[in-house]
Amino acid sequence: VARRPSGTPGLSLEAVVAAAITYVDEHGLDALTMRALAASMGVYPAALYWYVGSKSRLVSLSASYLLGDVYVDHLATPRWQDWLIETAQVMRQSMHQHPNFATVFGSEIAVDMTTATPFIESLLGVLADAGFSDDDVVDAYNSYTGTVIGWVSVELSHEPKAAGRDKDWQSDFQANLGAVNPVKNPHIARALPRLANRGYMMRWESGKTNPLDSSYTYLIESLVLGFERKLASRDAVS
């Protein structure tokens, strides 16, 4: 085998992170193993530790890296409302491109802010220009970012790992749904045709294969309309 010149390392932090991302995209987060990843890179497991320190750090680093993709270029949308709506759609699309990382986005506090800085700066700028007070900017910022990340992360949440036989839990689940008592639960019974496999707690397919586009649009539009009202009521008082 050709010997690589000494002094030039065969690995790098970026290479390991990139390999981890493609591995998770292909095989899922549960399948990510230091040993399996090392094997896929033709290297010993311990070699990875020189760059990433630990598995949990590797996952964090990968998530932070992906967050950089979420940057939304300044759009030609003069209205702040439209900017928020468009940006929310772009963020969701980014998350849908790596659905197996969705749970990480939603559950880990540690994101390397440096990769997200341009996004945060834009968002804070838009909110300030819209007229939010210094105090309200904080709450609007948290409302908006937490909603987008949290909602999409729930949308992309995974099915239970097939425990016993292959997919019998789906049949069980649908049977349970169909057995709803229309006397005790008339509203569920009425909404069932529209809610089956589309409503949270009533679906058997993840948002990966069964996206909930219209609900997300409805949510973001409602939230932005609510922001508008919050702003207006403040103006009325001040």
- The count of other CB atoms within 10 Å of the CB of residue 69 is 14
Site for DNA contains 36 (CB under 7 A): yes
* Residue number with CB closer to its own copies (45 or 186): 186
Site for DNA contains 28 (CB under 7 A): no
CB of 232 to DNA, least distance (A): 51
**Contact at 8 Å (CB) between 182 and 189?**
yes
The residue from 24, 48, 88, 223 that contacts its own copies (CB under 8 A) is 223
Q: Which does 9 bind (CB under 5 to 8 A by kind): DNA, its own copies, none?
A: DNA
Long-range contacts of 51-59 (CB under 8 A, 24+ apart): 51/11, 51/12, 51/13, 51/16, 52/13, 52/16, 52/17, 58/16, 58/17, 58/20, 58/34, 59/20, 59/29, 59/32, 59/104, 59/108
Of 5-13, 17-25, 40-48, 155-163, which part binds its own copies (CB under 8 A)?
155-163
Site for its own copies contains 204 (CB under 8 A): yes
The residue from 12, 56, 93, 171 that contacts its own copies (CB under 8 A) is 56
* R_g of the chain computed on alpha carbons: 22
Contact residues: DNA, CB under 7 A: 6, 9-11, 32-36, 43-47, 49-51, 54-56
